[in-house]
Amino acid sequence: MALNLISQNINWQHFDTTTLQKAQKENKPIILHLAANWCHWCHVMEEKTYHNPKVINYINKYFIACTEDHDQRPDLANMYRDYGWPATIIFSPDGKEVFKQAGYIEANEFLKILSEIKKGKFFVKQNSPLSANSQTHSNENLKYILKDVLSGIDLNNGGFNSPQKSLDFEMFEYTLNHQNNDTLKKWLKISLENSLHLSDSVWGGIYQYSTYNDWLHPHYEKLLSIQARYIKMYLWYYYFTQDSTYLNTALKTYHYVNRFFLKNNKTFANAQDADLVKGQKAHDYYKLNETERLKLSIPNIDTNAFTDNNAKMIESLIYLYAYTRNKQFLDNAIQTTEYLLHNRKRTDGFYNHNDNNDLTPALSDQLYLTKSLFFLYRAIGSPKYQELATNLLNNIVKHFIHNNCAFNFLPIKNYISPTCVVSENIELARILNLYGKIFNNAKWLEAAQKIHRFLLSDSVYNATIIEPGIVSLNEEIHSEPFWGLYLVKDLNHKDYNLHKELLKIPLCYYYNYLMTSYNILKEKEEIWNTFDFNTVIFCTSSFCSSPLSLEKDIEQFVKIKIFKK
């Protein structure tokens, strides 16, 4: 967030080491207004609270004021994401948190809080980051985590038992993998059907969530990461139902992204604002048709293109390519990837969050770029992308993992301490476990086991609510991934549709590979020598399927043998 977007009467600073040193020198507390430029209540607080003359005078006299866009600062965003936006965090002059609160704070209430803090009152307990050395009780905690997951879903309305309704990918994925459970199957159907209410009927695109415990009161901001998530989920659900509603909604979501977010350099903008006029609810605006909306203009687009969210979009583009057979999606995925590789690379081997120099590398950028590079390699077979993904994953293991967990950013001297973000550690452990088993990499598997132990620790369980990803990780740690091998013995009759059929399988714990005489895997050489015709084989370390050569047979095998459907 540019500093001039709020009040010029407050002397806004950036939150960095220079500001922390200034606070110590002047013995003043720091106010951090951590917001998002697409967020309605952030606009309200900026317009009402931070433009109040009494607030302005009090802050300028007794505090140092900082404002940051949480999308531009993953080092801060992941530390305060649970508090919602705007997040107001106040630090003592020595950098300790003394207050934090989510949402809009009215001016007079804020003045009372500031007055109490000036008197030396602390409003939060000083908690250290999640301990990576906490004693674990794996079996007990895993049992409780699973119980929390199953009891946390809303069987009447879908989503979680929460006033806010949206579709969580990890819960969606867990349910998809356990469709033989009638309760979960019912939840899946209700959740997917109701989630369609979050799709903009005019432009397409998915609103972030709905309130009032239903799906009919959306918050209208549209985030790139949300679009990427729903495209992937709708395509995966279409795989099982063959209900064209979900394929069409995925495509409509993509067309929204392509129209409003795609930039000339083939990266994607970050978000579209919830409000047409900042601070004013846009309910009436989103009831209008295309012509009526355009007469009034469109909500602001945040044109920043962040590495982690673009990497998520790359993965969804590859799935669109596999499901539609339209190579334009794959071309776009390659173009976006190449831009990130050429314009975000740092001298330390990591990648920046955006085109400007970052304060420090963020795990989320490295993590999701690694994931998209591996998936792009699986889509086109270029060794370049596998090598880049391997190098980046090695770098993550070497520099980000401390004791048993990965920090959300690399530590900086004289700055707030990084922490272990549970969602990022789940994702990292799953990537390390999958590709550690695929490429027989002992270091990756050891790192996955360490993070797994951390995620089953008491400190994590006591700090989290519902984490289906931990359950999925535990299942993967104790099982072997499926391979989908396309053996191409006759290059003149290579059927890329079979390869795309393997690519579109809706499973995270899975690896597809197109094998020719030029890239025979040593551990699969016996399988290669068994056949003299083009065929698809599914394997684990102890099992191989019969040869399959038709798309419908591949789909049938996946549904019956892998998903037990």
User: For residues 558 and 565, what is the distance between their CA atoms, to the nearest angstrom?
Assistant: 9
Q: DSSP of 519-535, one letter per residue?
A: S--GGGHHHHHH-SS-E
Q: Which residues pair with 486 in a beta bridge?
A: 514, 536
**Which two structure tokens, joined as six digits, stand for 515?**
């094998």
pLDDT along the chain (565 residues), means of 10: 55 92 94 91 92 94 94 87 81 90 92 91 58 62 92 96 96 96 96 98 97 95 97 98 98 98 96 92 95 97 97 98 97 98 96 87 97 97 97 98 94 90 96 97 97 93 89 96 95 91 97 94 92 95 91 95 87
How many of the other CB atoms lie within 10 Å of CB of 347? 5
User: For residues 163 and 168, what is the distance between their CA atoms, to the nearest angstrom?
Assistant: 14
* 135: Cβ contacts below 8 Å, ≥ 6 apart: 457, 458
Which pLDDT belongs to residue 159?
A: 97
β-bridge pairing 87-91 and 97-102: antiparallel
Which pLDDT belongs to residue 4?
A: 44
User: What is the phi-psi region of residue 421: left when phi exceeds 0, alpha when psi lies from -120 to 50, beta otherwise?
Assistant: beta
Give CA separation, 68 vs 191, 196, 537, in Å. Answer: 34, 33, 51
Whether the Cβ atoms of residue 470 and residue 479 lie closer than 8 Å to each other: no
Q: Which residues pair with 68 in a beta bridge?
A: 34
Whether the Cβ atoms of residue 187 and residue 158 lie closer than 8 Å to each other: yes
User: For residues 31 and 25, what is the distance between their CA atoms, to the nearest angstrom?
Assistant: 16
Whether the Cβ atoms of residue 100 and residue 80 lie closer than 8 Å to each other: yes
State the Cα torsion 225-226-227-233 to the nearest 10°. 110
The closest of 338, 324, 186, 168 to 255, measured between CA atoms, is 324
Whether the Cβ atoms of residue 302 and residue 229 lie closer than 8 Å to each other: no
Whether the Cβ atoms of residue 336 and residue 383 lie closer than 8 Å to each other: no
Burial 56-88 (b: 16+ CB within 10 A, else e): bebbeeebbbbbbbbbbbbbbbbbbbeeebbbb
Taking CA 447 as the corner, what is the angle to CA 445 and CA 453, rounded to the nearest 5 degrees? 105
Which pLDDT belongs to residue 121?
A: 73
Which pLDDT belongs to residue 136?
A: 57
What's the 3-state SS for 41-59?
HHHHHHHHCCCCHHHHHHH
Q: Which residues pair with 391 in a beta bridge?
A: none
User: For residues 140 and 171, what is the distance between their CA atoms, to the nearest angstrom?
Assistant: 21
